[in-house]
Structure formats: structure tokens, C-alpha cells
Chains A and B, each alone.
Chain A
Amino acid sequence: MPPDFISNLYVFILAGFVGFEVIKRVSPLLHTPLMSLTNALDAIVVVAAIIIAGRHETRLTTILGAIAVAASFSNMVGGFLITDRMLRMFKSRGSKQS
């Protein structure tokens, strides 16, 4: 097993626990925004796609990379946008008057 695998596994397991602890505290009220926000965060795969698209190894990988950049960046932009729109709609009775 390559040593990188072990250190990645550490990170994965710890991040999984952090995710579990943080996410179980999210109010059910906000489960839809939670899903769109995690979607936007997950779109960070765009950084890997950018490298594939810009490394220019073969024509095939450049095309594949460019498709992946477009798809994941659309998730990032759209995900943050819709999450923000949703959260702006959640108002309590107190803030509604103001």
C-alpha cells in the first residue's frame, strides 16, 4: 500500500467524523439548503479538473478536463447561489416586521 494512501485514509476518516458531528446539528428546517451547500462544496473537484484541462497532455484529456471544469464549476456557482436564495427566505416573525 502506498504511504499516500494511508495518510489520505486518515484524513478521510477524520473528515467523515467531523462531517457527521457537524451535520447532525443542522436543523431539519435547513435540510434542503444543507444539500445544496454540500453540493457546492463538493464542486471543489473543479480544482482537479482545472489541472487536467490545463496540463495539456493529450487532446482527449484536455477535452475531458474542460467538460469536468464546466460541470463542476456550474455546481459551485449554482449551488452557492441557490443556497443563498433559500436562506434569505427563512425569516422569523421578529425579523419579518423590520
Chain B
Amino acid sequence: MTELALQQYLDFVYIVAVVLFILSLKLLSSPVSARWGILAGEIGAALAVIATLFNPELVQYKWIIISLVIGAGVGVPLGMVHMTAVPQRTALSHAFGAMSAAIIGISEYYVGTRQVTRFEMGEISLEVIIGSLTFTGSLIAAGKLQEVLPQRPIVYRGQNIVSLSILAGALGLAVALVVNPTNTILFPIMVLVALIFGVMLVTPIGGADMPTVISLLNSYAGFSAALLGFVLNSKVLVVAGALDGSSGFILSVIMCKAMNRSFTNVMFGAFGQVQASAAGVKEERVVRSATPEEAASILAAANKVVVVPGYGMAVAQAQHKVRELYDLLTKKGVDVRFAIHPVAGRMPGHMNVLLAEADIPYDRLVEMDEINGDFPQTDVALIIGANDVTNPAARTDQSSPIFGMPILDVDKAHTVMVIKRSMNPGFAGIDNPLYYLDQTLMLFGDAKQFVGSIVKELGGH
């Protein structure tokens, strides 16, 4: 009786935690209330963890305490990484989350082998397959983002058929286990096959598609936790997993729309391969370039400037120099804003975090749909390390691989300045007609150094 009563108290605490989780996400709707959201989430998580420690099923605490200490020891440094490393940190945390979900499913199988029903076997298999493939897939994504693995898509002939057969193999093993749950030898093989599929799934995907892939892996990690909730009959896991899963799903839809591509195209299309031949047939065209002095005087004379940051700004670590430029121009009375394309960078919202870190006020960061109408009244559009998201061919050239992708209409600004290392086409290998327009000035050089030189010209240091 007392044990049962205790169990009910624990369930009640879990309900409070779930309410706090939902509040936490709700408070994230505005930057003003967002930090209260963190507090709500933290209280909810702490309540749930502490309540669990009172669970009557627990008989020894040694390993729990040791692993909680290790977890905190790993978690704190992962929480303190530099903002430029946030995409790979996020991919790594998806890997950790999916790994825990898969491991718990696996141990549930080995604990429950005696009485596991076919239905439970199906739940466990599905959960473990999704958790395992998300684990290795996220590790590959983290490796690509950290540039330990090549960012270019790695493809070979017949890849999709091979990958899909491996997935089919994992599902086939799951079906065999459902038919005969006592066939224990199949279970580790199924886990192994799912782990291999995760590698095959993400290896062919290029760096520019990472915002979608990270969101998709986020969604898988969430759904594997929700499925684990089904396996363990734990509602708190079902809710937290459903929230995480739907969040990742919404973000992937937003990312796909922002690239005008479908899920299947991102997962199986290996962006950046087909275009190599198309880029070869361009004729010689004239570009105009400018020095930092010229760029500085044009910027100083402008009324309205829109800065368009991209992944190149993150790579060059130019965000702090960009802040200095923002401060100087603002002091001179120039209206400076930042145009943020949804897929700029390597994960959703990447540019916002980098610019916020550099102390640029968030009300100066404007989304694509809001700012596009303002480009015709903009004196200077300054593009720093962005390429495809500014390519007007997406609007006009039906043969372009990015035709139909929503872009920032920078070509409508009076003057366009592009900071770029060289005329090499961008990541996707697509030529950008923006660079050959009459009002376009190319500023050749490293983003950080070039912005630094402009700042110096404008009287900064």
C-alpha cells in the first residue's frame, strides 16, 4: 500500500514536470520571457530527477551517483562551448540523447526477455532502431560540422539502393524478432545494422544541408524518447519526446521550405554534386572590385545599410569586427540592420546566436520575409560570407538548381558589396549572377580582415 501511494506521488511530480516543460517552451516565444522559460524547464527537470531517486524499485545508488557526477562533468564543458561550435555541440547532444534512449531500450530487452510479448518486442525494436540510427547519424553530422570529416557530400553509384536495403534489413530483423521474440541472437544484429544505416544516412549529405539534417535528427531523437515512453509505459517520456520530436519536425519543415526542397531531396539528393558540370560552362564576365577605403566611404555616405551574414562570417570569426562596423556606422547616423535567411549558417538560428554573442541588439536582426520589401530603399547591401541565399538566379533562371528557393533580394539594393575570398563558386558550386551586376562591388579578402580594414578607415581601431 505505501509503495503504491509513493508511486502515485511520483506520478504526480512527473505531471508537474510536464506542465513546466510545456510552459518552458511557451515562454520561449519571445526573447524577453525566454529566460523564465529556462527556469521553468530546469525546475521541472530537477523535480523529476529528484522524485525518481525515491522510486521504491531502486536498490543501489552507487552507480546512479557516479554516473550523475560523470554526466555533470561532461555536460558543463559541453554547455560552455564557444557559440561558433554550437552546431556540432547540438549534433553531439542529439547523439547522446539518442544513445541513451537506444541503450535503455536494449537493457529493457535483456531484462524482460522472459515475458516480452510480440507487441512489446515490436515497440522495443522500433525504438532501438530509431535511437541507434540517430546516434551514429548525429555523430557523423557532428564530425562534418567539426570538420574532422569532409563537409562535401560523399556519394557513390547505387548509394541510395544500398542504404535503403540496409534499412530494410534492420526492419526485417525487427519483424523476425516480433514473430519469434526468443530468437535473442537477432537482437544485437538488428542494433548493429541500424547503427550502420545511421552512418550511411548522413555521410552523403553536404554541409550546406546541415540545418535540415540537424533538425531532422533532433526530431528522430525526440521520437525515439517518446517511443521509449511507450516501451516503459512512462508518460513523462512520451510527452517530452513528443515535444522534442515535433519541435525538430517543425524546424525541418521550415528549413526545407527555405531551400525549396523536399525531405527526400535533402536525404537522397546529395546537393552540390550535379551542379559541378553546370558551373563549368560560364563565359568570362566582368566584375568590379573595390578597396576597403572605397567601401568605407560608400558605407559612411549611406542612409540605410543591410548586412547579410552567412556561414563564411562564422568561419572567418568576423562577427565581432562586424559589431564594430555596426557601432561606427550607427554612431554616424546610418541605419544598419541584418537580414537573416532561415538556412544561413549550419543550423536553424545560427546567425542570430553569433550576432547576439557579438552584442548586436536582436531588434536589428530581421527575418527574410520582413526585410525583402525594404531592399529597393536600401543604399548598401553588404554581404559577408553568404552566397546561395542571395543568388538572384533562384528567382529568374529556371535551369538553376536552386530555382524557386526563397532568397534575400539584395540585387534590388542601390549598391551591393560582397566580401568574398575569391570568385570560386560557393558551397553548392552554383555560379552567382549577382557578382556581375552593374551595382555590385566585390570586396576580395578574408571577411574578418576586410571588415577590420573598413572599420579602420571609418576611424575605429
Contacts and interface: CB of A to CB of B under 8 A. Distances in A.
Q: Answer yes or no: do A and B interact.
A: yes
Interface of A: 1-2, 4-5, 8-9, 11-12, 15-16, 18-20, 22-58, 60-62, 64-93, 96
B387 to A, nearest CB: 21
Contacts of A81: 75-76, 79-80
A51 B357 CA distance: 39
Given A28-B340, A69-B64, A41 B24 contact: yes
Given A35-B347, A54-B58, A58-B111, A72 B96 contact: yes
Interface in B53-78: 53, 55, 57-61, 63-64, 66-68, 70-78
Contact of B90 (A36, A43, A85): A36
B207 interface: no
B107 A60 contact: yes
26 contacts: A12-B226, A12-B229, A12-B242, A23-B25, A26-B29, A28-B349, A28-B352, A30-B349, A35-B247, A37-B37, A39-B93, A40-B41, A47-B236, A53-B63, A54-B60, A60-B110, A64-B107, A66-B67, A67-B99, A68-B100, A75-B96, A78-B89, A80-B79, A82-B78, A91-B359, A92-B362
Interface in B223-273: 225-226, 228-230, 232-248, 250-251, 254
A59 to B, nearest CB: 11
A73 B68 contact: yes
B364 interface: yes
B99 to A, nearest CB: 5
Contact of A41 (B117, B123, B244): B244
Interface string B4-24: 000000000010010001101
B361 A54 contact: no
Most B CB contacts (10 A, CB to CB) among A4, A18, A29 go to A29
Given A16-B245, A19-B242, A84 B356 contact: no
Contact of B72 (A8, A64, A77, A91): A77
A30 B97 contact: no
Nearest to A83: B38
A96 B360 CA distance: 9
A86 B14 CA distance: 27
Interface string B326-339: 00000000000000
Contacts of A68: 99-100, 103-104, 107
Contact of A85 (B21, B79, B251): B79
Interface residues of B, number: 114
B67 A67 contact: yes
A46 B409 CA distance: 46
B63 A66 contact: yes
A98 to B, nearest CB: 12
A90 to B, nearest CB: 4
Nearest to B365: A29
B72 A61 contact: no
Nearest to B366: A29
B239 A15 contact: yes
A27 B103 CA distance: 34
Interface stretch (B174-182, B214-222, B302-310): B214-222
B288 interface: no
A86 B100 contact: no
A19 B343 CA distance: 22
Contacts of A79: 75, 79, 93
A72 B63 CA distance: 14
Contact of A77 (B79, B218, B347, B350): B79
B45 interface: yes
B367 interface: yes
B361 A92 contact: yes
Given A41-B243, A67-B100, A76-B49, 17 more contacts: A2-B117, A11-B235, A15-B242, A22-B243, A35-B247, A35-B349, A36-B86, A39-B221, A41-B24, A43-B45, A50-B52, A54-B55, A58-B111, A66-B64, A73-B68, A80-B41, A81-B80
